[in-house]
Amino acid sequence: MAKYHDIAESLAQRIRHGDYRLRGFPSHAGLVAELGVNSRTVSRAISSLVDRGVLVRAESGRLELSEPKAQTRHLGLLMAPWPSTVMLQWYRLIEQACLQRDWSLQIVVYNHWCDTVISEAVRGMDGLFVLSIGGDFPSTLLDQWRKDPTGIVVLEQDVSGGGLPCLRCQNPAAIQQLIHHLRERGVRRVHCLNTQPDSSIIQERIAAWQFWTSAHNVKGELINEPVEPFESPVGASIELATSLIRDRLHEGDAILGITAEVTLGVVRAATNLGRLVGAALPVVSVDDWAGHAKALTPSITCLAPSDIDPLIQVCLDYMGGDRDWLGPLLLQPSAMDLFVGESTTARPGLPPGRA
């Protein structure tokens, strides 16, 4: 039988990590059923937590979490229930920023826009980062969040026009660097390929490609066939890129993958067709969220990830209640580095680096 102090410490750990911020602390009977111990052991564990000030008893007798210290915050990252490089990277970056303040970050999973866990997270957390499940946010949900006193920051998508703070890792205008890089290497046409689920992020990147190819007097075909949310874009990218490379690609053409996953499909398609990605077939990627561009064969020319910790710290200041939101509602890197990989080098074996 588990000793009461072991149970008390386990419950205290859960509380420190914010595990009971959404649905409240369980009842005495609920703990007995969950832990499989007798009622007396649970009672002693609860008494220990009350004595330590971790739990308090309301006038009704119900156990409640004690108010956290002013400097402590429990934040949530609201995200979809399937892993992706974008979601994992956002969690890593925000968690590292929270650790600097001794705050906790908890992943909150939602399955659809009407999921009750969304409102529970808004009520239960001291601040909330929100990553879209795919597609754009319902306007009714954005209206609710704008009026809510909880500090809410939307990741990736720009909904600042609706009055909500937004944070994203890339500035679509940086696509100019990719177009300029290809133009300098004699590329005459830059085809844009997307199979990522449709969203305002993807639309902005496509719009930036259209603008900058026109500005640099570069032609190109847009191949935009997004998969449904929860579907992998890689398989569809392989299929579309195969058709493009085999049937319509000419000398002096290059392919721009709208995301790293899409670009992986392009490279695989070229390999399947016996085409060497590089000087004869330049391929670039708009992003490198997973940080694998340098390690791939060939290494992929892309916009390198920026240090966005200072921008995350602005969001944490806001969620900490230290001050109102200051400055523009949209936070994004003002400039980005261009990593030049083997996928666009002028000759085989040319060492990659930063432009």
Closest CA to 142 of 117, 120, 170, 118: 118
Predicted local distance difference test score (pLDDT) of residue 93: 95
The residue that leads in pLDDT, 77 or 17, is 77
**pTM score:** 0.79
Q: pLDDT tens digits for 29-38?
A: 888 787 788 8
Instruction: Tell me the sheet residues that pair with 129.
Output: 77, 153
Q: Output the CATH code of domain 172-306+336-354.
A: 3.40.50.2300
Are 112 and 132 within 8 A, CB to CB?
no
Rounded average pLDDT over 126-155:
86
Predicted local distance difference test score (pLDDT) of residue 12: 80
Output the DSSP codes for 20-64: TTTT-PPPHHHHHHHHT--HHHHHHHHHHHHHTTSEEE-TTS-EE
Residue 134 pLDDT grade (very low, low, confident, very high; cuts 50, 70, 90): low
Query: Above 70 in pLDDT, residue 77?
Result: yes
Q: pLDDT tens digits for 210-239?
A: 999 999 999 999 999 999 877 889 999 999
Predicted local distance difference test score (pLDDT) of residue 303: 95
Predicted local distance difference test score (pLDDT) of residue 355: 45
- Phi, psi angle pair for 130, to nearest 5°: -125, 125
Residue 69 pLDDT grade (very low, low, confident, very high; cuts 50, 70, 90): low
Rounded average pLDDT over 67-89:
78
Tell me whether the CATH fold assigned to 4-65 matches the one assigned to 172-306+336-354. no
Rounded average pLDDT over 129-141:
82
Rounded average pLDDT over 172-186:
94
Rounded average pLDDT over 306-313:
94
Average per-residue pLDDT for the chain = 87
Q: What CATH architecture does domain 74-170+307-331 belong to?
A: 3-Layer(aba) Sandwich (3.40)
Residue 1 pLDDT grade (very low, low, confident, very high; cuts 50, 70, 90): very low
Domain ranges of the chain: 4-65, 74-170+307-331, 172-306+336-354
Return the ∠ at Cα 84 (arms to 79 and 85), rounded to 5°: 115
Q: What CATH architecture does domain 4-65 belong to?
A: Orthogonal Bundle (1.10)
Are 193 and 244 within 8 A, CB to CB?
yes
Rounded average pLDDT over 261-275:
96
- Pairing between strand 127-131 and 104-109? unpaired
Predicted local distance difference test score (pLDDT) of residue 323: 64
